[in-house]
Amino acid sequence: MPAPAALYYGWDTTMILSDSEILAAMERGEIVIEPYRRECLGTNSYDVHLSKHLATYKKRVLDAKAHNEIEHFEIPPEGYVLEPQINYLGSTIEYTETHATVPFLEGKSSVGRLGIDIHATAGKGDVGFCNHWTLEISVKQPVRVYEGMPIGQLIYFLVEGKIIHPYHSKGSAKYNERTHLPVESMMWRNRF
């Protein structure tokens, strides 16, 4: 019988917060979710929802050293059809703060089964991240999406050791400005 993945990779699965631990962390102010709805709390995750705000880059060819501007638009009541080969930026309805755990944003299985990816590489947040989540959305085939649909789930991992520089207090943090809109790549602020 093969070993469980957690043992194979050396993961300690007890490090993921359960529903009761998420609630306890919220009571202590270590996790903030606004708006919070009890029915969105899963066994060991919290469901987040797609806001009406989407954006796409204005240029087809992006430059990692340049500030690539985006164009914002809203999902109409009848939904919006996402097309393959377009990099969409979306945002969550929920504003979150995480002060003592590492938040991971993963797509829901029902979203994945529609061929929707909600993050290209940035599923992990940082301790101290305080904002709405920007989603990097791509699709395998055309799919209609709607404001308020469940889009992902937040999973919280315990962190070992003292945090020296929480994300919201780092001068180098590029995504600290609170906004409900999707935010474009700030790669151009790096020196390389």
| Nearest alpha carbon to residue 133 among 102, 167, 75, 89 | 89
- The pair phi, psi for residue 137, each rounded to 5°, is -100, 130
Q: How far apart are CA 122 and CA 133, in angstroms?
A: 10
- The pair phi, psi for residue 56, each rounded to 5°, is -135, 155
Tokens of 105: 């944003």
- The pair phi, psi for residue 98, each rounded to 5°, is -135, 110
| Active site positions, annotated | 136
| Nearest alpha carbon to residue 133 among 121, 142, 125 | 125
Tokens of 157: 């991992």
Query: Are 152 and 105 spatial neighbours (Cβ–Cβ below 8 Å)?
Result: yes
